[in-house]
Amino acid sequence: MEPAVQHTVVIWPLILFLVAALGLVTVMLGLSYVLGGRHDNRLGNQPYESGIKPTGSARTKFSAKFYLVAIIFVLFDLEIVFIFSWAISARDLGWVGYEAFLTFLFDLTLGFAYAWKIGALDWSPRAPRQLRLDAIESNQQRNLPSEQTS
């Protein structure tokens, strides 16, 4: 066979697939346009969710704490998947696998302790660091004279 004939033999399934895909998309969009409902009144154009009328803007701002907790949840959830996979193959891995698992759990615990220490899991409002230090110092100064007198 000539090289040009071989090239068209190899490429014709791709062309047929592209034509079929574009034809299917065109038919689906055309049918939805022709058969789709028309809502020209004001109630038909409103969003509907659970029978509750929408109030306010959909662009409300959330605290960054929501996203931080979500990221922490995903990280620890993925680590649980690794723990399950280790549990399935624990006998085959032996003591070396057990050591690796304990190292993994130690790292997991360190990450959790760090997230706890920086306040990533604390939702209560806090004063700035200097105000907290000042409060601790003033509390200690108030307690010093009473301890010296007794």
> What is the tens place of the pLDDT at every residue in 111-138?
888 888 887 777 766 556 666 677 777 7
Cα 19 from Cα 11, distance rounded (Å): 13
What residues does each domain of the chain span? 7-36, 62-137
Cα 124 from Cα 65, distance rounded (Å): 11
Look up the pTM and report it: 0.42
The predicted structure's pLDDT at residue 98: 92
In the predicted structure, residue 27 carries a pLDDT above the cut 90: yes
Q: Which residues contact 100 (CB under 8 A, 6 or more apart)?
A: 93
Cα 132 to the chain's mean position, in Å? 32
The predicted structure's pLDDT at residue 66: 81
DSSP 43: G
Helix or strand (DSSP H, E) at 41: none
CATH superfamily of 62-137: NADH:ubiquinone/plastoquinone oxidoreductase, chain 3 (1.20.58.1610)
Q: Which two tokens stand for residue 125?
A: 């409002």
Q: Which residues pair with 52 in a beta bridge?
A: 49
Tell me the average pLDDT of the chain.
79
